[in-house]
């Protein structure tokens, strides 16, 4: 894991990527770096995917309820359309929701002298690399891997476990739909019946249905 590139000066651009599972503090780390840039009197713009409206439509919000104003965009190309080119630092939360179009966008921004900080999931609910994060990792000057705490055993967790049935790659949600899991406790896809006890009808409900 590399440290962020706060010490770089001049008009050189670069890309930083913060990745990891849900509940690992990615958004909080993104906001921490953006606040440091604001303290340094740099112009900062923050973007989030419009589809992620779990907590707010115009803020990025961590699971710990840390908030920062942001602009919601429907696509990666809209980041360019809404960008003030006087901006020095660009923060992008939930980068995994933007798809592979984000790769060209962040490269263009970094090549133009912007500092880009992108946060997102690096693996999906099946444990596979989650585009476009793997490509962004290959292009980045700085990478930070965050870990969560496994909700089953308490060990460091690198996976996001989906708890509901769906074949969709993206299902927007938080606690109740997902939880962090370590390598040992993770089940690709949706957990088996023993992990879905909350969804089973109670004995009393079954008795009532039979009567």
Which ranges constitute the DSSP H helices of the chain? Answer: 26-39, 76-82, 101-111, 133-139, 203-210
Give the whole-angstrom CA distance, residue 35 versus residue 41: 10
Residue tagged 């999931």 (tokens) = 121
Please report the pLDDT score of residue 90 as a whole number. 98
Residue 167 lies in a domain: no
Per-residue DSSP letter, 30: H
Asked if residue 83 is part of any domain, the answer here is yes
Residue 47 lies in a domain: yes
Task: Output the domain CATH number for residue 133.
Answer: 3.40.50.300
Whole-number pLDDT of residue 3 = 46
pLDDT one-digit tens code per residue, 102-145: 999 999 999 999 999 999 999 999 999 999 999 999 999 999 99
- The pLDDT tens digits for 53-87 are 776 777 888 777 789 999 999 999 999 999 999 99
The first and second tokens of residue 33, run together, are 């770096």
Catalytic residue annotation: 94
Q: DSSP H helical segments within 2-97, as ranges? A: 26-39, 76-82
Q: Is residue 204 part of a domain?
A: no
In a domain, 207, yes or no: no
Number of compact structural domains in the chain: 1
User: Does a structural domain hold residue 210?
Assistant: no
Q: Is residue 93 part of a domain?
A: yes
In a domain, residue 158? The reply is no
Two structure tokens written together for 45: 């713009």
What are the residues whose beta carbons fall under 8 Å from the beta carbon of 3, sequence distance 6 or more? 142
Residues spanned by the domain of 72: 14-147
Is residue 57 within 8 A of residue 34, CB to CB? The reply is: no
């Amino acid at each position: 894991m590399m440290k962020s590139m706060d010490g770089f000066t001049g008009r050189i651009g670069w890309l930083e990527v913060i990745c990891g599972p849900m509940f690992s503090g990615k958004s909080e780390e993104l906001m921490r770096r953006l606040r440091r840039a604001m303290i340094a009197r740099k112009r900062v713009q923050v973007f989030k995917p419009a589809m992620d409206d779990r907590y707010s439509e115009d803020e990025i919000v961590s699971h710990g309820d840390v908030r920062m104003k942001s602009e919601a965009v429907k696509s990666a190309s809209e980041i360019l359309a809404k960008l003030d080119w006087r901006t020095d630092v660009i923060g992008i939360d939930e980068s995994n929701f933007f798809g592979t179009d984000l790769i060209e966008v962040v490269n263009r921004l970094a090549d133009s002298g912007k500092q880009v900080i992108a946060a997102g999931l690096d693996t999906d609910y099946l444990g596979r690399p989650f585009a476009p994060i793997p490509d962004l990792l290959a292009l980045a000057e700085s990478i930070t891997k965050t870990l969560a705490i496994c909700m089953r055993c308490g060990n460091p967790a690198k996976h996001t476990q989906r708890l509901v049935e769906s074949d969709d790659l993206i299902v927007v949600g938080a606690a109740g739909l997902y939880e962090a899991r370590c390598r040992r406790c993770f089940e690709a896809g949706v957990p088996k019946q023993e992990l879905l006890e909350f969804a089973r009808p109670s004995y009393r409900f079954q008795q009532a249905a039979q009567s």
